[in-house]
Amino acid sequence: MTTVDERRTAPPVPAAPRRVPAGALPALLWAGAAAVVALWWHDTHSVVGAAGELTGAGRITGLLCGYSCAVLVALMARVPLLENRIGSDRVARWHAMAGRYTVCLLAAHVVLVLTGYAAQDRSSVLHEAVTVVLDYPDMLMATAGTLILLAVGVTSARAVRRRTSHEFWYWTHLLTYAAVFLAFWHQLALGEQFNGRPAATAAWYALYGGVSVLVLWFRVLVPVRLNLRHRMRVESVHREAPGVYSVVVRGHRLDELGARPGQFFRWRFLSEGMGRTSTPYSLSAPPRPGLLRITVKALGDHSAAVPLLRPGTRVWAEGPYGALTADRQTSPRSLLIAAGVGITPLRALFETLPGEVTLLYRARTAEDLALGGELEAIARRRGARVLYALNGPHGRRPALTPKSLRATVTDLAGHDVYLCGPHAFARDVYAALRAAGVPDRRIHHESFEL
């Protein structure tokens, strides 16, 4: 490791604005699920025999599946309160969990209801399935929605995602909206909890209507307004390290976006082969008047095409998103730990975080240190420290152990730690930090990986 000597300390930490407690939203969502079960309990007077038990269980899972579909879509709506206060990665994990619950509840609902109906009619499950699909109101649409949701669930499995392109996954995932729309109507037509009960029906319409408004506003209207107003274009593209390039974007009145160091946008470059997918890239420098900058490593088809962008290429952006900002600070001392292209949000924070700041940058070789010259200049200007953890002879990686981290940073447990890098690296360093005595509330990490 090499060090730039510390000279002075930046101003003290300002008071951070109040954040949304991370546990408040899950508690609210579970309360909603309990209310759905209470709706079934209130309107179910008796359950008789095996057929009644199967059908009743099928109706409970159906109601919970309908509720889970609304939650699933709401978590996809990119509501700034959630994206910027709780954190995009945490919301994404909740969305993935809700997706698994939805698929399991959907499968249980189908199996339990058909088995219950078959037991009641004393017929085969296959015969009952054909009868329900062809003769019951809105069931053809519901069946189509069911098949789409199951397909989305399969393509979202980690093993499948590794074998498919991001573009395929992205467009398949968007079919969730169509699936929920197709399945919604049969809930009201066939759900006993809604027939002749205007209050329950109105509440269900309000749930789905409110979620639809969130999606329309934050995923359609807000991005359209942003891009019409700010009219962003590629200003220039610069090579930073092998396979790593910075893109400078120019636009009108970009200060009105309120973007902060550590945040990211979802970028769509309107050039050949890149306009179909929006990809999250962090700001690699604090926003400047009329300018934003991202730094990208070629890891997939979209990022590999970034060096080919030409000045003047139109840009469609959504954001800013992310909670990896100075708001998370609880101490006047901060340690930033980056690996690879994870340096991008931390480089912006390194320049702007108040207090005493140390940056630890992990890379294979000195040639792989993207933005290294900028980091050195920032360290000299603000009297911060920048340290590099590079591979030794024969490619041996330096171990970031609890002992080495404590030896590198005095009073490590008293620091806020901002962590960004590949998933395996972040997991190992997180474990080392916890073993070194750093409280969980002081370890701040945000990842685009699910």
Q: For 227-252, write each residue's pLDDT tens digit.
A: 999 999 999 999 998 889 999 999 99
Chain length of the chain: 450
- Strand 264-269 to 244-250 pairing: unpaired
Map tokens 């060096």 to a residue.
307
In tens, the pLDDT along 277-308 reads: 888 999 999 999 999 999 998 877 777 888 99
Tell me which of 2-11, 73-82, 112-121 is least confident. Answer: 2-11
Question: What pLDDT is attached to residue 33?
Answer: 92
Q: Averaged over 81-100, what is the pLDDT?
A: 86
Question: What pLDDT is attached to residue 1?
Answer: 42
* Band of pLDDT at residue 118, cut at 50, 70 and 90: very high
The residue that leads in pLDDT, 155 or 310, is 310
The phi and psi torsions of 237 (rounded to 5 degrees) equal -130, 130
Q: Is the pLDDT of residue 11 over 90?
A: no
Q: Give the C-alpha separation, 104 to 413, whole Å.
A: 42
Residues sharing a CB contact under 8 Å with residue 388, sequence separation 6 or more, in sequence order: 1, 2, 360, 361, 362, 363, 366, 369
Question: What pLDDT is attached to residue 444?
Answer: 93
Q: Give the C-alpha separation, 411 to 442, whole Å.
A: 13
* Band of pLDDT at residue 211, cut at 50, 70 and 90: very high
Q: Is the pLDDT of residue 8 over 50?
A: no
Q: Averaged over 175-180, what is the pLDDT?
A: 91
Q: Is the pLDDT of residue 226 over 80?
A: yes
The mean predicted confidence, pLDDT, of the chain is 88
Q: Is the pLDDT of residue 2 over 50?
A: no
- C-beta of residue 257 within 8 angstroms of C-beta of residue 226: yes
**What CA dihedral angle connects 132, 136, 138 and 141, to 10 degrees?**
20
* Band of pLDDT at residue 165, cut at 50, 70 and 90: confident
Q: Decide: pTM greater than 0.75.
A: yes
